[in-house]
Amino acid sequence: MSTSNAISEELTAFIREKIDSVQTVEILACLSLTPDRSRSTTEIADCLYLQQASVRDRLTDLVDRHLVVDTGDGYRGVDGDSARLVNELLTAYKIRRTAIIALIFGQD
């Protein structure tokens, strides 16, 4: 993100392609709290006060979208370019939450 807090075209495209709910953003944010270790579905559900089944479904989708890695004993964020875009998304979500939510729901 630039210093003007504008949402970049790259981030906008990433959101449109990979992010389909606020819950998805919240799960990515929860995983970013402990980037050095995996977190179980139960830990993530407890962190966000969500039902485990819902979190499990979202995690499966995030693995399919290559935004989360299933380590066998939990989940963690990915590395590389996707990680950079997830970090940019989480920063934008802190600063411009309403604008990010509008993008998620196609109201831009």
Confidence of residue 5 (pLDDT cuts 50, 70, 90): low
User: Which DSSP string corresponds to 24-89?
Assistant: HHHHHHHHHT-TTS-B-HHHHHHHHT--HHHHHHHHHHHHHTTSEEE-SSSEEE--SHHHHHHHHH
Confidence of residue 77 (pLDDT cuts 50, 70, 90): very high
Query: What rounded mean pLDDT belongs to the chain?
Result: 92
Closest CA to 89 of 34, 38, 22: 22
pTM of the model: 0.91
* pLDDT at site 3: 40
Instruction: Say which CATH topology domain 26-104 has.
Output: Arc Repressor Mutant, subunit A (1.10.10)
* pLDDT at site 6: 81
pLDDT digits (tens, 9 = 90+) for 23-61: 999 999 999 999 889 999 999 999 999 999 999 999 999
- The one-letter amino acid code at 88 reads E
Do residues 58 and 21 touch, judged by C-beta distance below 8 A?
yes
- Asked if the model's pLDDT at residue 68 lies above 70, the reply is yes
Sign of torsion over alpha carbons 9, 10, 13, 15: negative
Cα–Cα distance measured from residue 34 to residue 25, given in angstroms and rounded to the nearest whole number: 15
